[in-house]
Amino acid sequence: MITSDAELPPRLGSLTFHGPLSEERAESLVRRIAESAPADVLDIGCGWGELLLRILDAAPGAKGIGVDINAEDLARGRELAAERGLADRTVFVEESARGSERGPVDAILCLGSSQALCDPELPHDPAEALRELRRLVRPGGVVVLGEGFWERTPTEAELAGMWPDASTGDHFPLRELVDLAIAAGFRPAWIETASRDEWETFESGYRYDTERWLAAHPDHPLATETRERVDRQRGWWLNGYRNVLGMAYLTLVATV
C-alpha cells in the first residue's frame, strides 16, 4: 500500500518554537540581541529559525545563517523567511555544526542544540559546547544559550522513567552551568529559566497534531508505530523529567 504524504502524521505544526519558550520571553531575547546591533547572526540547530527570523526583523542591518541537519525544518524556515520578506538576509544550511567555520559572528543562538557542537561519540559536554560558542563569537558579541539543567537531583525512579540510559550526569545544576559559561570566556548578562507553563505548552504542542491524527486514523498502517512513539515520549515527561529538568536561557557576552 502506498501512503501519500498527506496521510502521514503531521510534525510539530502546532509549535512556534521548538522548545519551552513563551512569546513574552522570546520578545525579551529578541530585544536584547537586537539592541547589540549585530551585523551577522548564527543560529546553531536552528530548526525552522523562528527566533532568528524575529531578530533579523528587529535588526534590519543584520544577516542570518541557520544551521541544522533536518531538511524538513530548514524548508519550513525558508518558507517563513520568504513570507516575511527576509529571504535576502537569511540562509538556511543543511550541515553539521561540529567544528563549524561559520564564525566569528556578532551574535549566536543555540537553543536546546548544544549537543550539535560536541563529539557525538562522547557524552554531551556543555563545557565543550561553551568553548565552541566562544570560538564562534566575536569579543563583545552576544550568545543566547538554551540549555537543560537539573532543577534538583532526580531520584532513581525518575531517571528510570526518562529517556534511555538517563543519568544524573546528563545535566548540571544551574549554578554549575553558569560557572562553565564564565570559565569559557563569557559574562552572564541575563539568567532566566523556563516556567511550568512554558514546559506544558511545549510538551503538549509537541504531540498535539499527532494525537489528533491518531484519533482520526486509528487503523492507519502507521498508527501503531506512531502511537507507541508518542506514548513513549509523553511517558518520559510525565513519569520522569516533569518538574525535574529545567531549561535555562543564558544571555552571555563574550569577554574582550
Q: Helices (DSSP H) in 88-190: which residue ranges?
A: 126-136, 156-161, 174-183
DSSP 3-state of 230:
helix
- pLDDT number for residue 1: 37
pLDDT digit string (tens) for 41-63? Answer: 999 999 999 999 999 999 999 99
Q: What is the pLDDT of residue 9?
A: 80
Residue 98 sits at φ, ψ, to 5 deg, of -60, 120
pLDDT > 90: percent of the chain: 93
129/193 Cα distance (integer angstroms): 19
Q: Which helix (H) or strand (E) holds 209?
A: helix 196-216
The bridge status of strand 105-111 relative to strand 137-150 is: parallel
Q: Which three cell numbers, joined as nine digits, stand for 27?
A: 520578545
State whether residue 95 is helix, strand or coil.
coil
CATH of the domain at 160: 3.40.50.150
Q: Is residue 24 part of a domain?
A: yes
CB 40 within 8 A of CB 107: yes
Helix, strand, coil share of the chain (percent; to 5): 45, 20, 35
Output Rg (C-alpha) for the chain, integer angstroms: 19
In this structure, is residue 226 part of a structural domain? no
pLDDT at position 216 is 94
Domain-embedded: residue 218: no
- Size of the chain, expressed as the number of residues it contains: 256
Q: Sheet containing 245-254: which strands, arranged edge to edge?
A: 90-94, 63-68, 40-44, 105-111, 137-150, 245-254, 186-193
H or E element: which one contains 195?
none
Does the residue 211 lie in any domain? no
Helix, coil or strand: residue 242: coil
The per-residue pLDDT for range 10-45, each reduced to its tens digit, is 889 899 999 999 999 999 999 999 999 999 999 999
How far, in Å, are 35, 71, 81, 107 from residue 55 at the CA level?
Answer: 10, 22, 12, 10
Of the candidates 184, 203, 187, which has an alpha carbon nearest to the alpha carbon of residue 247? 203
* Under-70 pLDDT residues of the chain: 1-6
How far the first Cα of the chain sits from its last, in Å, is: 61
pLDDT of 7: 75
- Largest Cα–Cα separation, the chain: 61
Q: What is the total count of domains within the chain?
A: 1
Grid cell 561559520 in the structure block, residue: 102
Q: Is residue 230 part of a domain?
A: no
**Residue 177, in any domain of the structure:** yes
Containing structural domain, residue 127: 10-198+236-254
| Contact indicator for 31, 96 with CB cutoff of 8 Å | no
pLDDT of residue 10: 81
Question: Does residue 137 lie in a domain region?
Answer: yes
- Euclidean distance between CA atoms 198 and 182, whole angstroms: 27
Residue 209, in any domain of the structure: no
